[in-house]
Chains A and B, each alone.
Chain A
Amino acid sequence: MTRDEIISKLRDIMKESTEKPVDWSTVSGESTIESLGFDSLSILDLIYDIQQEFDAEFDAEQLVSIQTVGELAEFLSSQLA
């Protein structure tokens, strides 16, 4: 799966789990996850949804330093490799 494919899939998952109205056409690898309406609690659900969708298992703690959608995509890419 390419980085763009991962970002596209991430966008779909995030759309389903944020309460915040977001213009998704403007969301890119540089967008911060916080700007898309995720806080320290809801990001746990987001990670859960990502794990289910990508069928990957990893510790949420591994994602502590991740800030942007692009960083998340790269992390997932390394997990899926």
Chain B
Amino acid sequence: MKNRRRVVVTGLGVVSPIGLTPSALWDSISSGRTGIAALRAFDLTDYRVKIGAEVDNLQLEKAAQEIGLRLSDRTMDLAVIAARSALTDAGHDLASASYSGMDMPVIFGSASGSQHSLYDCNTRFAEKGVRGLRPTSVPRCMANAISARISLRFGLRGANYVVASACTSSTNAMGIAFRMIRDGYADRVLCGGSDATFDPFVYGGWNNLGVMSKNPDPLTACRPFDAHRDGCVLGEAAGALVLEAGDVASARSASIHAEVLGYGESSDAAHITRPSADGQAAAIQNALDDAGIDAGDVGYINAHGTATEANDECESAAIRKAFGSAADKTPVSSLKSYLGHTLGASGAVESVATILALRHGLAPANLNLSTPDPACNINLVDSEGVAIQGSIAMKNSFGFGGGNGVLVLCGVRA
């Protein structure tokens, strides 16, 4: 095996329902503001669940205009803007006349890919048959359209592909990026995830699946780990991070947001949608082993915490199984009640938020946790938030299909 290199985070970018910059995201989280509201994306008359967390259209249009992006497929638009923010944050002047691209792989995750383009194609096909299909349907809808578009737009040469593992997608993408750098295959990687779930078709599938909250009140519907939780609320977002070899970042005096210490993954091999505590615990243990730390070293767990009955109880059991008695003291919170469940983007967006939580030394509050579920026997952060001991956090992501991904991050205090 090649010598393992340190891997640091030098760029952060987000497009989320609670902010289009990392600082806006953190402001919303630290002040307990949710992005969940009445959905406006399309006519929801026939839909049971009419709330969700949308990216503000005016802010999105402004951000697109600033970088000369013509809005097209929403999932790709969110991804391109987040990617551009992360690259700029990492110190790359993309607008400079001398900029001619970089050797930088692009690894993005997405649960549903360019679903708005697919919806458009399906609608036209239903109307006019094959003659209604755009000649560019294939490049618009192909599963790797997101990373391809980012690579092309910013001249990023290196591997470019999309990881699809439902809600674990972008955590897997970050894990792959981490390994690529650690093991010497790349000096830096742009990774992240994007999902813009609100089109009538894909969102309709979620509507009919029965895992979303029936509570129509946007402020209280999403209640991770609460005894009265009754399902998730969806959100749309993109998150992007530039990971870089520590020696390369130091040589160019780049600002360092965090270090990636370890990554673990596993598959439940049990059920297509129902999670398994054994599978999740295996990923958590693999991440701890990969980072070379003990559970007691982790000062904060940013949970997957979808607020479904099954996930939160199962995740709590998995944390308990992997952490043992250390789970009594490690604070755990979920950001789904702020962001909604942003599916394939959640790992990346919530990792950005976790890095900011480490910077500020504050484990964010569990919004709407008024009656902790006794079945969730872990140390849940209350509505005030709690100070993080040390500088290490864990980010959990678990997805339909049984894929689990867990990152261990070490922050830099402000």
**Interface of A toward B, CB cutoff 8 Å:** 18-19, 21, 41-42, 44-45, 47-48, 57, 60
Please indicate the chain B residues that have their CB under 8 angstroms from the CB of A47 in the complex.
135
The majority secondary structure among interface residues of chain B is: loop
The majority secondary structure among interface residues of chain A is: helix
Please tell me which one of the listed residues B68, B70, B131, B136 contacts residue A41 in the complex, with CB atoms under 8 A apart: B136
Show 9 A/B contacts (Cβ-Cβ < 8 Å), sorted by A: A18-B70, A21-B68, A41-B136, A41-B139, A44-B135, A44-B136, A45-B135, A48-B134, A48-B136
| Closest chain B CB from A45 CB (angstroms) | 5
Please tell me which one of the listed residues A19, A42, A57 contacts residue B136 in the complex, with CB atoms under 8 A apart: A42
Please indicate the chain B residues that have their CB under 8 angstroms from the CB of A18 in the complex.
70
Contact across chains for B68 and A45 when beta carbons are under 8 A apart:
no
Please indicate the chain B residues that have their CB under 8 angstroms from the CB of A60 in the complex.
135
A22 CA / B135 CA spacing, docked (Å)? 24
> Given known contacts A19-B70, A21-B68, is B134 in contact with A45 (CB within 8 Å)?
yes
**Interface of B toward A, CB cutoff 8 Å:** 68, 70, 131, 134-136, 139
Nearest B residue to A49 via CB reads B134
A45 CA / B135 CA spacing, docked (Å)? 6
Please indicate the chain B residues that have their CB under 8 angstroms from the CB of A19 in the complex.
70
Please indicate the chain B residues that have their CB under 8 angstroms from the CB of A57 in the complex.
131
Please indicate the chain A residues that have their CB under 8 angstroms from the CB of B131 in the complex.
57
Please indicate the chain B residues that have their CB under 8 angstroms from the CB of A45 in the complex.
134-136
Nearest A residue to B69 via CB reads A19
Nearest A residue to B70 via CB reads A19
A19 CA / B136 CA spacing, docked (Å)? 15
A44 CA / B135 CA spacing, docked (Å)? 6
Please indicate the chain B residues that have their CB under 8 angstroms from the CB of A21 in the complex.
68
Nearest A residue to B134 via CB reads A48
Nearest A residue to B133 via CB reads A48
Please indicate the chain A residues that have their CB under 8 angstroms from the CB of B70 in the complex.
18-19
